[in-house]
Structure 1
Amino acid sequence: MPTVYVTAPPDAADELAETLVDERLAACVNRFPTTSVYRWEGEVHRDEETVLLAKTTDDAYAGLVERVQELHPYDVPCIERFDESDVLESFATWRTEHVE
């Protein structure tokens, strides 16, 4: 089962998180404020962002990525998949029950 790492501007993060849970593409989305330093179009930028960790399933992953791309304000959103090699069975069951 994957956890999906997404960064977004703070003003877009709430809508992204709530949409993913509301549409049952994620069972839960954690939000963490962060400062990102990155290179874009030849310049170094420093921006306040929000890290989203979306708990989803293999079957819902593609739909989650598609929805994030539709809603995300960036031209190139950060979307990275992390697959757990070990997860508490009761949590895995809960996640599966809340994602379609």
Structure 2
Amino acid sequence: MNCNQVVICGRIMEVEGLRYTPAGVAVVELKIGHASHQLEAGMRRRVECEMPAVALADLAETVSRMLPGTQVRSGGFLCGRSRVNRQLVLHLNSIDII
């Protein structure tokens, strides 16, 4: 199955420093905060969450220049943080300032 796509709007809560993998690929980790109202079981519900995310290569360099508080629309896929740590992380394929 290939159905693993996420789009979420929110604001950048924090951006870690740009680093490079041993292979020389740029990596930056960030946290995106989301708040909205959603319909659930016919009722309006306030939704708030913080999503850890990671960007690689050229996108990492772009994200590393973004400031906390910036409103963004981000898209990508979910993956476990590592083989051992199964905490979900959003791996970004796109991020746009809104």
* TM-score, reference length from structure 1: 0.30
- Higher helix proportion, which one? 1
- Higher strand proportion, which one? 2
Specify which structure has the bigger relative contact order, considering alpha-carbon pairs within 8 angstroms and separated by 6 or more residues: 1
